[in-house]
Structure formats: C-alpha cells, structure tokens
C-alpha cells in the first residue's frame, strides 16, 4: 500500500497532539519550507480565533507547508499541495490547530504548568541533540536550530517544547486514572484471537425481482404508510459571483523572461534525482585540537586518492562506531538527510571521488562517493510548456485571491454584490433551487457553498468560498420549504420500493426454508448441493474480517461467533439480503498467548480508552470556548 493509499484510507483520522508535529519535523531532520512572499498584511490576517488566541494566515501557511513537506518526504514526492487540499487535509490541519489552542487554554484553566527546568530537561534528552549518550552542547544545539528552514530561535523552539509538554501533562492529568481489569483483558484477547471457519449462503432480494409487479393499490398503500420517506428537502436558490480561475489562467501569457527566470530558479525540479551511495571516515574533534584532526584527515584522504582501499582505511581510522566495521558505508543518502556541510560535499563528488576533509558538528569527515547515477537536467525547451502552465496557474490563483480579498472588503450585504462584481467586469449569476449537498448550477459541486448557503438568511452574503472553479460570493434569493410531493411525482420510486420489498420477502421465505433443511441435515455440504445453493466458504477468520459473499457486517459476525461447530443459523437479515451461516470449525484463543501478551494488550486498551475519554472531554471543553473561523481568510491561506 502506498503512502497515498494510506492517506486516502485514513484521511479523517485526527489526533490532539499537533504541537508535536512541527517538533517531530525538526528532530527527524525533515527540512521545513519557507513560506513564499505574500500580499502585505495577508500574513497577519486572523484566520481563526480560539478564545483569546488568534491563528494568523501566516502561521497556518507555515504549518501547512511543513505538513506537505513531511508527506512528500514519506511518499517520495507523490503528494502535492493540490492533493492535500482535495482530500480536505487543509481543513483537518486547521481543526488540529484549533484543537491544540483549545487544549492549551483548558490546561491553563486547570493550572497545568511546565517549568523552564522541565523544558530544558526534555530538550537535552532528545536523541536529535545527543551524541554518544550526551547532550551535544549549546553551540551545536543552536546550530541545529539555525539549520532549519526557516531558522528557529531558541525561544521559539523551547516554547514549542513547552506546549508539547503541557498537552502531554493535560492528557495525563485527565486520563491517568483509567485502568483495564484482568477480565476485560481476557475478553479482549478472546475477541481478537478466536476464529471460525464457515459457509455463508446469501439470498439477495435483487435475485427475486423477476416476474414481480406492483399494482396501483400496492403503490398507494406504501405511499400512504411511508409518505415521509419521499419528502423533498428544503432547497435554496442562490445569486452568486464566481471568480473564474480557469478563465484568468487562459487570459495570461507569461513572457519569455518569466519562463527563463522560473527555469533558472527551479533547476532542481528539472534535474533527475541523484542516486548516491557514500562511505565516510569520521574523526572526532572532541578533546582534540581541530588543526591536528584536520591534518590527519588530509593525510587519510591522500592515502585514499593514492589507491589505498577506502574501506580498510575506515576500519583503521574511523571513529564512527556505527559504520566503521562496514568500511564506513553509509548506504544511499538523499538530500536533506545529512547535515548541510556533509551533504554539500557528498553530492559534489563524482563516482569514486574522495573529498577533502569536511568539518561538521560531529567531527571531520573524509567522504567517498562509491556509487553515483542520475543528475541529468532537462532543457528549457523540454519543459517550457509545463512552466508556462505553472506560471499561468500561479498568476490566476494570485489574481483570484487578490480579487476575492478586494471584493470581500466592499461586500456587506446582497445589494453590494452586483456593484463589486461590475467594477471588476464580473457578472452575477442565478442558480436553480438545490438541496443541501446537491450540485449548484453554475458552481458545480461544492459542499462548502451549500453548507454556508443553508446557514444564511435571505439577503446575507457569504464569501469568498472555495469552489472547483474559483472563489465565489453567494447570497440566498429564495427558499423552498420541504414538502411531501404528490404520489404522481414519485410514483416510479414508490413502485420500485414495492417490488424491492416484495423481493425481500421472497428472499427471506427462501432463506427460512433453506435454513430449516440445513439445520435438520446430517451433512451440510450434501444438503446444500442437493438444493443447488451458491455456498461461499471461508478459511479461519477473526472478528472484523469480511465474510465471503457478505462482506463486513456486525450482525453476521455476531451470529457467526455465537454458533458452535456443526450448527446452522436462522437467516440473518442484512439490508437487502438474508444470510444463512454454517460454522465448520472454531479455533479458540490461546490462553498461553494471553500470558505473553497480557500487558501489551492492557497498554493498548488503556491507551484507546484514554484517547476516547480525552477526545470526549475536549469536545465538551471546546463548547465552553468561543471559536470562530474566517473562511475568506482560510481560502486565501490555502490558495
């Protein structure tokens, strides 16, 4: 499964520990991204307010770009900013920031504090700031903070650590009382580890539709009994102004100078990634004169260049315990993985070339490129069309953002919408009536537009709101109340429901008859074959696994694990099917394995309960904290 697949599967997954996210980026060595220049004033605009804490556009942009870089490092560049936005990661990230500030305010309310000494102790204990089990020292610590892009000041980093510790301490204070009994652990061990092998026979209603009909009386009776099932929901008509980004893109043609400048400034984008494997010899400078160490490194480099075996030199001289026995081999390295001094020298080497001595915080290195491929650069002519497209898109996005920001300053009510649009050559449009969640004529499908539109009173204006085509401003010009339509309008739907219900009754009747036969049979397989049944066989499966021919279904699972081997169930109703189960074999959970896994399992259960309790507690806490979001600023921040 790729990184992208995992993100798609778990895109709704949230945690309350966002304060650790930027912190992890630093200690794991992921480079952080410097936000690009913004329109003056934009960075300090307030995107969200959480109690007395403001979240600015600039703060959110920095977090978003750091999150993007983290995903890109993990996925090998597979993840893009557009993809994150399409999956709603930008909204999840904003929610995480809000959750963090809410948690910090709750921690302050409860009197949770972290002293300067505790912050210092946490920092010196971090593996990233240790060498040979000892703190690397103040100078090296400050150097590592300066290496971040953008650089971090000690005060900024230490405040991040303080916030992380406060969140940890808050969660501990709220949840440390939670325990799990031995009986609970044993039940969970059984639940996770017992398995059954079964047969499943599904009787789907769709297989019984043939030949069925619905009379006029059937249709009328079902409609009379269930009229509210056919309720037409509230619908709203909108008047809107759309800033059409594709049109702005098509209208802009970048100059040859712009294209050349972009190519020159982004040459690394068009250069094939270098596949580099290196070995090194490290001489420590601790408790030694730097000049003497450098002189020794120069002598070793000279030996290597004169034909001495580099691996043997590493085994003889290197003080890097982790690579010395392997002849100094560091394996393949990528940019951003090593300290800048080492990386710059390593990637400048040709195949089999040995570097001059390189000094870093770890000591003095002699480096050899043992394998090097790639590095070819595409010409400007090769990539001109893609650069033109990028510049057109950037210009369109910037223009749309500026237009949206300027219009938002002029629009207070519906009457302002037409004038603000006309001043910019834009035209207000009218949609048809649409229900919540339906596509809007002229805007396409935008859940955010319909969500905001259904919160507006007539005459109010919302915007700018992101849509698939660009930012939009909307006002409600008509509200159609929900109503039950006459039968004539929904007769086809009702008729189909009558037939579906009749088919389901036939499916249940057939399932009842088959279950009775199989329950009385001495040989399940022979009886099933005699009835010409389509039997789906499983191997040994645990709870949570898909049942062949059925899928994952809680009711089916509960019945399957309640049966003893050789037993056949009554029909289990699953929406549009009736399922008969027969258990062939049952494998009980191993009591001996429980003795081994008891404490690990207990820890998992405690953590799960703690997280569930903490999440519920913080939802209640947030209800007490005033929280507001400026969706216009959010749209600009993520454009």
Mark which of 314, 340, 373 sits at the end of a domain: 373
Residue 636 predicted with pLDDT over 60: yes
Under 8 Å between Cβ of 293 and 283 = yes
What tens digit of pLDDT does each residue of 402-419 get? 898 888 888 888 888 888
Mean pLDDT score of the chain: 85
Mean pLDDT of 369-393: 89
**Which runs of consecutive H residues, i.e. helices, occur in 411-486?**
414-422, 447-453
Mark which of 373, 405, 436 sits at the end of a domain: 373
What tens digit of pLDDT does each residue of 82-91 get? 777 777 788 8
Mean pLDDT of 506-523: 94
Q: Which pLDDT score, from 0 to 100, does residue 637 have?
A: 72
Q: Which pLDDT score, from 0 to 100, does residue 73 have?
A: 66
Give CA separation, 71 vs 67, 197, 266, 480, in Å: 6, 40, 20, 44
Mean pLDDT of 292-306: 93
Same domain for 55 and 168? yes
Residue 31 predicted with pLDDT over 70: no
End-to-end C-alpha distance for the chain, whole angstroms: 30
Under 8 Å between Cβ of 453 and 474 = yes
Residue 3 predicted with pLDDT over 50: no
Query: Does residue 595 fall inside a structural domain?
Result: no
Give the containing element (helix H, strand E) for 276.
strand 275-283
Query: Does residue 620 fall inside a structural domain?
Result: no
Mean pLDDT of 171-176: 93
DSSP 460: -
Mark which of 373, 396, 415 sits at the end of a domain: 373
Q: Given pLDDT bands bounded at 50, 70 and 90, which one contains residue 156?
A: confident
| List of residues 6+ apart from 379 with CB closer than 8 A | none
Let me know how long the chain is. 639
Cα of 138 vs its chain's centroid, Å: 36
Cα of 446 vs its chain's centroid, Å: 20
Residue 594 predicted with pLDDT over 70: yes
Same domain for 476 and 389? yes
Same domain for 43 and 146? yes
Q: Which pLDDT score, from 0 to 100, does residue 150 have?
A: 63
Residue 591 predicted with pLDDT over 60: yes
Query: Does residue 183 fall inside a structural domain?
Result: no
Burial profile 595-634: b = 16 or more Cβ within 10 angstroms, e = fewer: eebeeebbeebbeeebeeebeebbeebbeebeeebbbbbb
Q: Which pLDDT score, from 0 to 100, does residue 21 have?
A: 39
Query: Does residue 617 fall inside a structural domain?
Result: no
Q: Given pLDDT bands bounded at 50, 70 and 90, which one contains residue 140?
A: confident
Lowest mean pLDDT among 18-22, 30-34, 139-143, 196-200: 30-34
What tens digit of pLDDT does each residue of 446-494 get? 778 888 888 888 888 888 888 888 888 998 988 989 999 999 999 999 9
Nearest in space to 117 (alpha carbons), one of 161, 156, 151, 173: 161
Q: Which pLDDT score, from 0 to 100, does residue 639 have?
A: 65
Mean pLDDT of 250-262: 92
* pLDDT top residue among 370 and 26: 370
Lowest mean pLDDT among 69-73, 194-198, 374-378, 511-515: 69-73
Q: Which pLDDT score, from 0 to 100, does residue 196 have?
A: 95
Same domain for 449 and 366? no
Same domain for 303 and 411? no
Query: Does residue 187 fall inside a structural domain?
Result: no
Same domain for 225 and 239? no
Q: Given pLDDT bands bounded at 50, 70 and 90, which one contains residue 530?
A: very high
DSSP 232: B
Same domain for 369 and 390? no
DSSP 530: H
Count Cβ atoms within 10 A of the Cβ of residue 138 and give its class: 0-12 exposed, 13-18 middle, 19 or more buried. Answer: exposed
* pLDDT top residue among 140 and 472: 472
Q: Which pLDDT score, from 0 to 100, does residue 1 have?
A: 38
Q: Which pLDDT score, from 0 to 100, does residue 30 have?
A: 31
Residue 589 predicted with pLDDT over 50: yes
Cα of 332 vs its chain's centroid, Å: 28
Rounded distance, CA 328 to CA 282, Å? 8
Query: Does residue 148 fall inside a structural domain?
Result: yes
Same domain for 244 and 389? yes
Rounded distance, CA 67 to CA 69, Å? 5
Under 8 Å between Cβ of 351 and 371 = yes
DSSP 95: H
Query: Does residue 121 fall inside a structural domain?
Result: yes
Query: Does residue 614 fall inside a structural domain?
Result: no
Q: Which pLDDT score, from 0 to 100, does residue 24 have?
A: 37
Burial profile 63-95: b = 16 or more Cβ within 10 angstroms, e = fewer: bbbbbbbbbbbebeeebebebbbebebbebbbe
Residue 25 predicted with pLDDT over 70: no
Q: Given pLDDT bands bounded at 50, 70 and 90, which one contains residue 634?
A: confident
Same domain for 166 and 85? yes
Q: Which pLDDT score, from 0 to 100, does residue 518 have?
A: 95
Q: Which pLDDT score, from 0 to 100, does residue 10 have?
A: 38
Number of domains composing the chain: 4
Rounded distance, CA 1 to CA 84, Å? 18
Same domain for 468 and 493? no
Same domain for 290 and 361? yes
CATH, residue 565: 3.10.50
Rounded distance, CA 343 to CA 94, Å? 34
Count Cβ atoms within 10 A of the Cβ of residue 264 and give its class: 0-12 exposed, 13-18 middle, 19 or more buried. Answer: exposed
Per residue, the 3-state secondary structure of 367-407, as one string, reads EEEEEEECCCECCHHHHHHHHHHHHHHHHHHHHHHHHHHHH
CATH, residue 50: 1.10.4030.10
Mean pLDDT of 507-536: 94
Under 8 Å between Cβ of 453 and 462 = yes
The pTM assigned to this predicted structure is: 0.57
Q: Given pLDDT bands bounded at 50, 70 and 90, which one contains residue 40?
A: very low
What tens digit of pLDDT does each residue of 276-297 get? 899 999 998 877 888 899 999 9
**Residues of the domain holding 387:** 235-255+382-480
Same domain for 76 and 163? yes
């Amino acid at each position: 499964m790729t990184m992208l697949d995992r993100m798609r599967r778990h895109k709704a997954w949230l945690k309350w520990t966002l304060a650790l996210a930027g912190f992890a980026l630093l200690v794991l060595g992921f480079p952080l991204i410097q936000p690009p220049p913004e329109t003056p004033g934009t960075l300090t605009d307030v995107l969200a307010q959480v109690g007395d804490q403001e979240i600015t556009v600039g703060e959110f942009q920095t977090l978003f770009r750091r999150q993007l870089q983290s995903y890109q490092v993990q996925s090998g560049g597979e993840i893009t900013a557009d993809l994150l936005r399409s999956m709603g990661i930008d909204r999840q990230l904003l929610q995480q920031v809000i959750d963090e500030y809410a948690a910090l305010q709750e921690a302050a309310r409860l009197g949770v504090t972290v002293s300067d000494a505790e912050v210092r102790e946490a920092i010196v204990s971090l593996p990233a700031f240790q060498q040979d089990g000892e703190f690397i020292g103040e100078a090296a610590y400050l150097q590592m903070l300066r290496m971040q892009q953008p650089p971090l000041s000690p005060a900024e980093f230490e405040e991040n650590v303080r916030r992380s510790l406060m969140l940890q301490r808050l969660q501990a204070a709220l949840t440390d009382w939670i325990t799990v009994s031995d009986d609970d652990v044993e039940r969970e061990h059984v639940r996770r580890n017992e398995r059954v092998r079964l047969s499943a026979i599904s009787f789907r209603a769709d297989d019984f539709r043939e030949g069925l009909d619905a009379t006029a009386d059937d249709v009328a009776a079902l409609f009379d009994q269930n009229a509210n099932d056919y309720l037409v929901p509230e619908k709203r008509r909108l008047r809107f102004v759309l800033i059409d980004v594709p049109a702005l893109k098509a209208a802009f043609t970048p100059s040859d100078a712009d294209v050349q400048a972009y190519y020159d400034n982004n040459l690394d984008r068009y250069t094939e990634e270098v596949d580099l494997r290196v070995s090194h010899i490290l001489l420590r400078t601790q408790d030694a004169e730097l000049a003497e160490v450098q002189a020794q490194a120069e002598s070793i480099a000279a030996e290597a260049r004169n034909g001495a075996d580099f691996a043997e030199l590493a085994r003889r001289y290197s003080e890097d315990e982790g690579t010395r026995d392997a002849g100094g081999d560091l394996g393949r390295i990528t940019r951003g993985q090593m300290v800048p001094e080492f990386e710059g020298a390593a990637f400048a080497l040709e195949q089999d070339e040995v570097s001059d001595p390189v000094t870093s915080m770890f000591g003095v290195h002699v480096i050899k490129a043992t394998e090097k491929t790639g590095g070819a650069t595409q010409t400007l002519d090769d990539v001109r069309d893609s650069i033109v497209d990028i510049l057109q898109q950037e210009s369109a996005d910037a223009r749309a953002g500026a237009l949206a920001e300027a219009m938002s300053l002029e629009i207070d009510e519906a009457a302002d919408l037409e004038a603000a649009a006309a001043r910019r050559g834009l035209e207000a449009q009218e949609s048809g009536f649409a229900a919540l969640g339906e596509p809007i004529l002229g805007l396409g499908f935008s859940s955010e537009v319909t969500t905001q539109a259904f919160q507006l009173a007539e005459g109010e204006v919302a915007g700018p709101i992101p849509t698939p085509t660009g930012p939009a401003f909307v006002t409600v010009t008509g509200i159609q109340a929900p109503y039950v339509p006459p039968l004539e309008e929904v007769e086809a739907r009702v008729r189909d429901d009558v037939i579906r219900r009749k088919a389901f009754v036939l499916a249940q009747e057939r399932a009842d008859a088959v279950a009775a036969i199989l329950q009385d049979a001495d040989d399940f397989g022979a009886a099933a074959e005699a009835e010409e049944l389509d039997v789906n066989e499983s191997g040994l499966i645990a709870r949570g696994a898909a049942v062949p021919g059925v899928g994952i279904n809680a009711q089916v699972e509960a019945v399957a694990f309640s049966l003893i081997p050789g037993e056949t169930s009554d029909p289990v109703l699953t929406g549009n099917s009736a399922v008969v189960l027969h258990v062939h074999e049952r494998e009980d959970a191993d009591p001996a394995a429980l003795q081994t896994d008891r404490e690990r399992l207990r820890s998992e259960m405690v953590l799960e309960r703690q997280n569930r309790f903490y999440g519920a507690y913080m939802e209640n806490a947030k209800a007490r904290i005033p929280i507001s979001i400026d969706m216009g600023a959010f749209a600009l921040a993520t454009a």
